[in-house]
Structure 1
Amino acid sequence: MRKIVIGAGVVAALTGILLITLPSLLNAAGLHPDYQGEEVSLVGKRALIITTSHAILNKPGETDGDPTGVFGSEMTEPYYEFLEGGMQVDIASIAGGEIPIDPSSFYYFIKSKADERYLKDEEFQQKVAQSIPLEQVDVSQYDIIFLAGGWGAAYDFAESSALARLISDAYYAAHQPVLSGVCHGPLGFVKAEDSQGNLLISGRAMTGVTDKQVEQLGIGLTPYHPETELRKAGVEFESRTAFIDIFANHVVIDAEKRFVTGQNQNAGAEVANKAMLIIAGRGD
């Protein structure tokens, strides 16, 4: 009996050690890398983060499924990067109102430092609870537009004609805002058109979630997959791989320096920082 008790104690201790060290191990493997970008001061400039309004992970047409939404860090990482650069940051969503956040993104072993900061930030939480409806966004007010990803965006970003128009309007705006996004966020670019009615992103270098990552995670039921849809839109798709693609990371800036995209949840801070650097480099 004594041996059994000791054995159980050892197992419990080892399990406890594993649980405590798991976040650090995942970080070392590539999840939410500690990105140290260049310092940027954009006081007086404004950024807009746009998220999904879709809250259920299900097959198209079904009403039941696991809860989903925006992946936490894909909203929180850019938010604080913009904020620390002196920018005013607003939050919008496809339908407006309370934004659904994928609960798995706040699991203790997955959540990022920015997520932890968000969970104590009442002002940010209020913006998420009362997000601006997409139809009320005035693109002339923003210097950077950032499309946050997560599984929810796989349902409503590519389907939203309002988002496609917003991206087209922003692209042609006189002050030339930088258009950016990570993970499933770039799905919001796929139906935007140029002034001749052609797809705006055709021929541009971009990235987003890979088909390999979708397959590895076993979530193929969503109606749109970023790599597939970006390639269909004529994008020169770039990506990196890892033993599991959720640990990979890649950021792409198109030749015109109008679009900055990141492969997945690991790229939020880097994409935001590089978008700010483009704005700062213009000297305006």
Structure 2
Amino acid sequence: MKSTLLKGGAAIIAIFAVFILSLPTIMHQAGLHPEYTGETHQLPAGMRALIVTTSHGVLNAAGETTGDPTGIALSELTHPYYSFLDAGMQIEVASIKGGQIPVDPSGLGRVMISPEDKRYLNDPILLAKVENSLNIDNVDFTAYDAIFLVGGWGAAYDLGYSEVLAQQISEAYYGAKAPLMGSVCHGALGFINVKDLGGNKLIAGRAMSGVTDKQVKELGIELTPMHPETELRKAGAVFESQTAFRDVFATHVAIDAEQRFITGQNQNSGMETAQKMIAIMVRK
């Protein structure tokens, strides 16, 4: 009897160990960080992209200053960054306050980490850009062909509140380069207060995507001050998304009729969003 119990216990432990080892593959097959299999392009020399991130690194409720560490979702930086880089673009990285960009440590766990994230960990150039990002106050947004806003829970605390970011994006939108505007997940919050020349919301009536209220609720992180789906709808955007049994496994990219705003739903959408931006730049 004792021998049978020991064998049964060993079998259960072995099955559990196999499950743990297989978990990254299971999550990937379920939809987390899908492989991009669409078209890729090379851009003419000299084209530039600006990637903008949060400077907020604490997951705290209103009125509180302490909480779990957060910041950018790492893949939402690395997937567009390497897409732009491999297409031949020059890339600068800026944040709301400049300096070190907070990186959500959960993105470095063995289940969440992606090949691009591992590339980042061995890339002294991007590591240095994250360690010492530009301050958006000191960046000429009109000098870029593409502007991309990174998500992550930290973005809920500052991107949508930054008057400087909204003004910079508005000026770039009407500038001579007419850059494409991209975002992923919470990054879309950086667009909600951008105004057109008449003082109206620039994204009103445009197809836009960002993390869904359903995903926020499913993950149990509702304490952040802004939720992209809610705020995009308030700003008059035509919100688009896909759903799954859990939205963390869904993905969608929305492109407005003018093909100026290309926005990805969540952490699974960054690479496709960037590649669609590149394809539009090639056609233009």
Q: TM-score, normalised by structure 2?
A: 0.97
Instruction: Give the deviation of 1:7 after TM superposition.
Output: 3.4
The answer for the alignment partner of 2:260 in structure 1 is 258
Instruction: Say which of 226, 239, 242 aligns to 2:241.
Output: 239
Q: Identity of paired residues, percent?
A: 55
2:31 paired with 1:30:
yes
Instruction: Say which of 129, 149, 152 aligns to 1:150.
Output: 152
2:11 paired with 1:10:
yes
Q: Partner of 1:265: helix, strand, or coil?
A: coil
The answer for the alignment partner of 2:41 in structure 1 is 40
2:106 paired with 1:112:
no
Instruction: Say which of 226, 229, 232 aligns to 1:230.
Output: 232
Partner Cα distance (1:4, 1:153) in 2: 51
The one-letter amino acid paired with 2:20 is L
Partner Cα distance (1:73, 1:162) in 2: 25
Instruction: Give the deviation of 1:280 after TM superposition.
Output: 0.9
Is the contact between residue 31 and residue 268 of structure 2 (CA under 8 Å) also seen in structure 1? yes
> Bigger CA drift: 36-45 or 263-272?
36-45
Partner Cα distance (2:12, 2:118) in 1: 29
The one-letter amino acid paired with 1:35 is Y
User: What stretches of structure 1 of length at least 5 have no aligned partner?
Assistant: none
Instruction: Say which of 157, 167, 170 aligns to 2:169.
Output: 167
Partner Cα distance (2:224, 2:88) in 1: 37
Matching of residues 125-136 of structure 1 within 5 Å: 125-136=127-138
The one-letter amino acid paired with 1:52 is T
> Deviation string for 1:147-181 (max 9, x for gaps)?
01000000001111111011101110111100000
The one-letter amino acid paired with 1:10 is A
The one-letter amino acid paired with 2:13 is A
Instruction: Give the deviation of 1:13 after TM superposition.
Output: 1.8
Instruction: Give the deviation of 1:4 after TM superposition.
Output: 4.5
Q: TM-score, normalised by structure 1?
A: 0.97
> Deviation string for 1:71-126 (max 9, x for gaps)?
01000000110011011111111111000011111110111111111111111111
The answer for the alignment partner of 2:21 in structure 1 is 20
Partner Cα distance (2:11, 2:120) in 1: 36
User: What stretches of structure 2 of length at least 5 have no aligned partner?
Assistant: none
The answer for the alignment partner of 1:75 in structure 2 is 77
Instruction: Say which of 251, 266, 282 aligns to 1:280.
Output: 282
Is the contact between residue 143 and residue 177 of structure 2 (CA under 8 Å) also seen in structure 1? no
The answer for the alignment partner of 2:216 in structure 1 is 214
